[in-house]
């Protein structure tokens, strides 16, 4: 299926997401923080990135599509966050992310967003 990079600093959450994605047939690359995620992006070009904003350096400002690598211009990035205040979703989408899910992550919503972004 698809190659998905999961950047999540909480190991149990990362393992759960990995298990679910692999059960759906996806190849999963994982990273524990934003720096690792950027390094993994250089090594692999995934079809999708699931990025926990707290794992990211600088939170919303670190959408990896903003990197200088032109190969990332079409990369789909889904933000995972515990921030669920009014206006947070809009800020994340305005920062360049393609989707936004709050934590705890509802696996049905996650599956739907992934399917939509990988179309």
Domain count, the chain: 1
Strands (DSSP E) along the chain, which ranges?
A: 3-7, 27-31, 48-52, 76-81, 99-102
pTM of the model as a whole: 0.83
* CATH code assigned at 18: 3.40.50.2300
Domain containing 40 equals 3-118
Inter-residue contact 30 to 18 (CB < 8 Å) = yes
Inter-residue contact 20 to 47 (CB < 8 Å) = no
Output the tens digit of pLDDT for each of the chain's 119 residues: 799 999 998 899 899 999 989 998 999 999 988 788 888 888 888 999 998 887 554 444 455 555 455 566 778 999 988 877 888 888 888 888 899 998 888 888 999 999 999 98
CA distances from 104 to 5, 47, 54, 83 (A): 19, 23, 13, 11
Inter-residue contact 38 to 109 (CB < 8 Å) = no
């Amino acid at each position: 299926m698809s190659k998905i990079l999961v950047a999540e600093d909480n190991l149990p959450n990362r393992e759960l997401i990995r298990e679910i994605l692999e059960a759906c047939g996806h190849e999963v690359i994982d990273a524990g923080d934003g720096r690792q995620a950027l390094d993994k992006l250089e090594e692999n070009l995934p079809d999708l990135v699931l990025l926990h904003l707290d794992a990211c350096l600088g939170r919303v400002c670190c959408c990896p599509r903003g990197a200088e690598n032109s190969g990332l211009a079409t990369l789909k990035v889904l933000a995972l966050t515990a921030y669920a205040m009014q206006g947070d979703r809009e800020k994340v989408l305005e920062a360049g992310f393609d989707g936004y899910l709050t934590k705890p992550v509802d696996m049905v919503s996650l599956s739907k967003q992934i399917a939509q972004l990988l179309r």
